[in-house]
Amino acid sequence: MHTAPSPDAPVDSPAMHELAPYADAPRLRDARSSADGLRLTWEDDAQARLPWLWLRDHCACTECRHPQTRERLALPRADIDPASETRLEGGHLLLTWPDGHESRFDGRWLHQRRPGSTAISPLPAPRPWSDDYRLARVAHAAFTGGVDGERAWLEALLRDGLVLLENGPLADEEVSRLATRIGPLRATNFGARFDVQSKPNPNNAAYTAIALALHTDLPNWQHPPDIQLLYCLENDAEGGESLFADGYQVAETLRQEDPEAFRLLSEMPIDFRFQDEDQDIAVCAPILTCNAEGRVVDVRFNNWIRDTLRLPAEVIEPWYRAYHRFWTLLHEPRHQLDLTLRPGDMIAFDNRRVLHGRGAFDPNTGRRHLQGTYLDRDMLESRLRVLARHP
Ligand SMILES: [Zn+2]
């Protein structure tokens, strides 16, 4: 069946119950029905075949999709007969199924979702640091005063894994107020909010004045916190500069310079564990986790809470050499970013990617006080998608 485009009579666009924008996409020019689906052509000459099962499953009528929650109400089928009638109106698609059910699709919505198209996303791809990497900086007033500053902060954090917010107020709990704009605080065994300052009788290295080598927080959890925010309220002690290294970049350096070391760290799960009087939080996972394409997507590195190394005897020594090689690369100046946080600064980083540490400081020369919390990366991505609704 060949359906000619209808005259340009104004037609109400079908409601797709979709909040992400699609009004800029091309409309449909042609629809040809066949046994294996509908062959669609859009105004920009893009073409795609959509199987009948897919079209029926994506019906956006109020029987098939809840108009308030936008959730799918109908189960997909295993097979279906072709639509008995196919029409284009104003660049949109109207189908009547053999059982009389009617489906209406906005042609622009279909264009965004046609097979073979790349998903449209406002999220930046992670970009490993390179020689020309520069720390992104956003003014506190820009973050709180409008969406552009907040968007710039979110994009830098998802792209680089690190962003500095500058010139904020010296206000207790400002870190919580900023974090709550993005999402709920992620609590751990150290609480939803923590203070980093030297204090008597520490139960954790972060509460002392000693230097902290590069690490990620809480790799002993099945799901370590994604994003860490550290807000500086006081920093006049001598020393105590913050150190960062991009685990993605250093892992790629390791992969190039020592592929066998990379293989050991990415394939051998090891044990991480925290234990105190009340808790025993442990997981077995590799230092580097790769996705299906082989790209490193998760870095667990924290020498304090590595547990007993349980590996086959013949792997133990090569594993230690690989671990030491990664440690050495991480701490090379070419991979490291040093930063002295000023009061009113907030550093945010992706704890599943960027390692952090700090130089030793002398608590007798002044006070040092940071307030920190964690956020889920899901909430950063969600916030960027919401901001993208009104570009
Ligand atoms: Zn329907």
Per-residue pLDDT of 183-195, as tens digits, reads 999 999 888 999 9
Per-residue pLDDT of 28-59, as tens digits, reads 999 999 999 999 999 999 999 999 999 999 99
Q: Of 206-215, 224-233, 351-360, which range is least confident?
A: 206-215
pLDDT for residue 210: 80
Residue 285 CA to residue 268 CA, distance in Å, equals 8
Q: Describe the chain by its helix, strand, coil percentages, rounded to 5.
A: 25, 30, 45
Ligand 1 centroid to residue 34 C-alpha, Å: 21
Q: Which residues contact 112 (CB under 8 A, 6 or more apart)?
A: 22, 25, 120
CB 372 within 8 A of CB 196: yes
CATH 3.30.2020.30, applies to 2-113: yes
Residue 2 has pLDDT above 50, yes or no: no
Q: What is the mean pLDDT of residues 170-178?
A: 97
Residue 293 has pLDDT above 60, yes or no: yes
Share of the chain above pLDDT 70, in %: 94
Burial 25-39 (b: 16+ CB within 10 A, else e): bbbbbebebeeebbe
pLDDT for residue 205: 64
CA 337, 340, 345, 350 torsion-angle sign: positive
CB 136 within 8 A of CB 158: no
Residue 7 has pLDDT above 80, yes or no: no
For residue 371, how many C-alpha atoms fall within 13 Å in the half-sphere facing its CB? 17
Confidence of residue 207 (pLDDT cuts 50, 70, 90): low
Q: Which helix (H) or strand (E) holds 42?
A: strand 37-42
CB 115 within 8 A of CB 91: no
Ligand 1 centroid to residue 59 C-alpha, Å: 5
Per-residue pLDDT of 110-157, as tens digits, reads 999 999 998 888 999 999 999 899 999 999 999 999 899 999 999 999
* Residues linked to residue 350 through DSSP beta bridges, in sequence order: 227
Ligand 1 centroid to residue 118 C-alpha, Å: 26
Q: What is the mean pLDDT of residues 241-255?
A: 97
Confidence of residue 9 (pLDDT cuts 50, 70, 90): very low
pLDDT for residue 209: 74
pLDDT for residue 202: 56
Confidence of residue 362 (pLDDT cuts 50, 70, 90): confident
pLDDT for residue 119: 81
Q: What is the mean pLDDT of residues 320-348?
A: 96
Q: Which sequence spans correspond to the domains of the chain?
A: 2-113, 136-387
Q: What is the mean pLDDT of residues 158-182?
A: 97
Ligand 1 centroid to residue 22 C-alpha, Å: 20
Ligand 1 centroid to residue 16 C-alpha, Å: 11
Q: Which one has a higher pLDDT value, 285 or 131?
A: 285
Q: What is the mean pLDDT of residues 349-355?
A: 98
Ligand 1 centroid to residue 15 C-alpha, Å: 12
Confidence of residue 173 (pLDDT cuts 50, 70, 90): very high
Ligand 1 centroid to residue 179 C-alpha, Å: 40
Domain 136-387 class, CATH top level: alpha beta
Q: What is the mean pLDDT of residues 316-343?
A: 96
Structure tokens at 363: 């608590």
pLDDT for residue 391: 72
Ligand 1 centroid to residue 82 C-alpha, Å: 15
